[in-house]
Amino acid sequence: MIIQTNNLWKAYGRHDALKGLSLSVPEGSALALIGANGAGKTTTIKVLMNLIEPSRGNATVLGVDSRKVSTRELAQIGYVSENQDMPERLTVAQFLSHVRPMYPTWDLELERSILTALRLPLDRKRRDLSHGMRMKMALACALPYRPKLLVLDEPFSGLDPLIRDEFMENLLEQAGAMTILISTHELADVENVATHVAFIEQGQLLFQESMNELTKRMREVHIRFAQTAVLPKDIPYSWLQPKALGNVLSFVETRFSETELSGKIASLLPAVREVDVQAINLRAIFNVLARDAQRKAG
C-alpha cells in the first residue's frame, strides 16, 4: 500500500478530529477521500504529510512512518492544497526556478507542456493571481517531477466549473502511473477519476471500497402500487430513506442484487404494479450515506 493508517487518532484539546481511522490507498489507485467539511479529511492529510503528529496510532506513506517523512519522501510526493503557503512576492516563473533544483527528477519538457495547457502567466506575482490561477500554479509545481504519489486537499474549493474542468483535464493527462489521494466534497469532479472511495464522517471511516463495487451495490428504487403506498412494518436494513408518497414507495437499496430485491419485494409488499430501479451518482450516494450516518449519530 502506498498509504496505510492504523487506528489513527488526533486530538485538539478535548476534540477528537480523528477517531481510530484505518485507511489504505493501493498503489496505482486514485482514491477519493470524501466527507463533509470538518469530517477530518484535511487532518488526515496533514498527518500523512508530517505536518502534524497523530495523538495515537500510526500511518505510513511510501513505506515510511509519517512522523519520519523527510525530504527524500517529499521528493516523490506532489502536494496541492487550497491553503498552500507559497511566497506571494515571487512570479510564477521565479517560483518554478526556486523549486526546480529541489527535485532531481524534474522534467523541463513536461513543465513546459503543463504551463502551456494551464495558460499560466509566468510574469505575474502569486499575490496578483486569482484563486483559480493559484491552484493551477500549485498543480504546475507538483507534477513536473513525476511524483509517485499526488495528494490533493480540497483542490476545487472556490473554483468555477470551467476552471475545475481544466484542472481535472490536465491532471488526467499527466497522471501516468501516479497514485492519487484526493480529498474533496466536490463529488461530481472526481466521479470519473476515482478508482476507489473512502467516506469519512466525524473522524471515523464509515467505509472504503472500489468505485466499481460501490456503484454496483447502490440503487434508487421506486415501487408503484395499485393503491396508496404504505411502508412495510419490517423495513430491510439495506433500504435507506424509505418514504411513501401517493401510490409510490421509494428507497435507496445499499446491497443491490436483482434476485434478492425481487424476493424482498415479493415477501413484504402486496399488490405491486411496477418496480423501477435506477443507478445513482456519487453525489447522491454521499448524501444518502451522510444522512444515514447523522441519523445514527443523533
Domain boundaries defined on the chain = 3-210, 219-279
pLDDT (mean) for 177-185: 86
Q: What local confidence, expressed as pLDDT, does residue 149 receive?
A: 94
Could you tell me if 81 and 25 are in contact, meaning their C-beta atoms sit under 8 angstroms apart? no
Query: What is the residue-averaged pLDDT of the chain?
Result: 88
Burial profile 212-221: b = 16 or more Cβ within 10 angstroms, e = fewer = eebbeebbbb
Q: What is the pLDDT of residues 76-134, one digit of tens each?
A: 999 988 777 778 889 999 999 999 999 999 999 989 988 888 888 999 998 998 888 88
What does the block give as the cell for 81? 492544497
DSSP lists the bridge partners of residue 251 as 221
pTM for the model stands at 0.83
d(CA 165, CA 167): 5
| Class of the CATH domain delimited by 3-210 | alpha beta
How do 204-210 and 219-225 pair as beta strands? unpaired
Q: What is the pLDDT of residues 51-92, one digit of tens each?
A: 999 999 999 999 999 999 988 898 999 998 877 777 888 999
d(CA 212, CA 200): 19
In the numeric block, the cell 445513482 is attached to 280
Is the predicted pLDDT of residue 277 greater than 70, yes or no? yes
Q: Which residues contact 140 (CB under 8 A, 6 or more apart)?
A: 92, 96, 111, 114, 115, 118, 120
